[in-house]
Structures are given as C-alpha cells and as structure tokens.
Amino acid sequence: MDRVTGVYILTKRLIIMTAVSICIFTALFSATFLHEGRLMVSWAVFVCGILGGFVSIQQRVKTVTDQELRLLTRSWFQILLIPIFGGLFALVLYSLFLSGIISGHMFPWFYIPEPDGHPDNAYIVSFLTETYPATGQDMAKLLFWSFVAGFSERFVPQIINRVTDQVEEDERQKDKSGSGKRDAAAEEKETAEVRTK
C-alpha cells in the first residue's frame, strides 16, 4: 500500500468517526433535553474533546511516518485511542474549572448548586445535572477549551504537571517556614535559660 492510499484510507475513517461522534452528541443532547429538559454538560465536554482529537490526527496526517501511517490504517483502535484520550483530558480540564484550580477571564465560570445542609446523594445528583456555565459566553469558552484539550495532547498533562509542581513547591515553603519557626523558638528558649542562670 502506497502513502497516498494510506492517507486516503485514514482520512476516510476519520470522517466516518467524526460523523459518528457528532451523531452520538446529537442523540445524547436530544435524549437529555427532551426527557429532562436539560443538557448534560459533561457529555458535551467529552464529545468536544473527542472531536478535537480527530481534528488533531487529521492535521498530522501529512507529517506522520510511513510506519505510523500503516499502523493507523490497519487498526480502528489506534485511530480511536487519541480522540478517547482527548475526551478524557477534556473531562479533567472541566474538573479543574469547576474546582477553581484554573480560573480567569479567559476561562468559563459556572453556576454550582449549594447543598441544603450536609451534602448527600441527592446533592451529588443535583451537582452533576444542575451545574452549568454561568452565561452563554462561558458555555462557548467551555466548549472551546474542551476542544483544545482534545486537540493538543500535551495541554492538560502540562497543566497537571504545573499544578503538582506548585503543590510540591508550597509544601517545601511550608517546611522551610515551619523549621524556621522552630529554630526561632529554640533560640528564644535558650536565651531565656541563659537569662535565668
């Protein structure tokens, strides 16, 4: 199989899978909206991540090596793997937005329902079904960043690495400040003992 044929087969499969993903998203949107009058935002996030993954593969088709091209054209699983990871990365990014770990004017804000008293199972269901972007603009931002999470394989892992590096740095600073306070307390104690003598 020559390279042109391989690119044609791969492109054809990507178009089919992208169309299937859009159909799945449409079906999920219709089912949740018609039966419950609401949209499950997490499904929209996941599907946008998958679509970003498919577009990413399509953008790289001309630059993949012959060996990678053969692998991608022989296995549907290999083609699906990158978009599925893209969907998962989009969900991770969504969690980072909801938690407030990532925030700013370029990122979406959300309406999150408050629990009545202690959180329970009903509140978890309410959180999953009633958490929405605060405005239409925030919804657009969420869909954009979900697509980016699938399109750029390194985007979310880099964020995770930065967050973990920041946590480790904060822990080191706490240890230093804690040991400094202990040293100062020990010096004061020794000074007090000398004075009493």
152 phi/psi in degrees, rounded to 5:
-105, 105
Q: What percent of the chain has pLDDT over 70?
A: 88
**pLDDT, averaged across the chain:** 83
For 61-71, the pLDDT digits (tens) are 878 888 888 87
- Of 159 and 28, the structure prediction assigns the larger pLDDT to 159
Asked whether 68 and 2 are in contact (CB, 8 A), the reply is no
Instruction: Write a three-state SS string for 89-139.
Output: HHHHHHHHHHHCCCCCCCCCCEECCCCCCCCCHHHHHHHHHHCEECCHHHH
What band does 14 get if pLDDT is binned at 50, 70 and 90? confident
Do you know the residue count of the chain?
197
Q: What is the pLDDT of residue 117?
A: 79
Q: Please state the pTM of the whole predicted model.
A: 0.76
| Range 127-140 average pLDDT | 90
How crowded is the C-beta side of 43, counted as CA atoms within 13 Å? 17
Does 197 score more than 60 pLDDT?
no
For 35-91, the pLDDT digits (tens) are 666 777 888 899 899 999 988 888 888 788 888 888 778 877 777 888 899 999 999
Q: What is the pLDDT of residue 194?
A: 44
Asked whether 142 and 131 are in contact (CB, 8 A), the reply is no
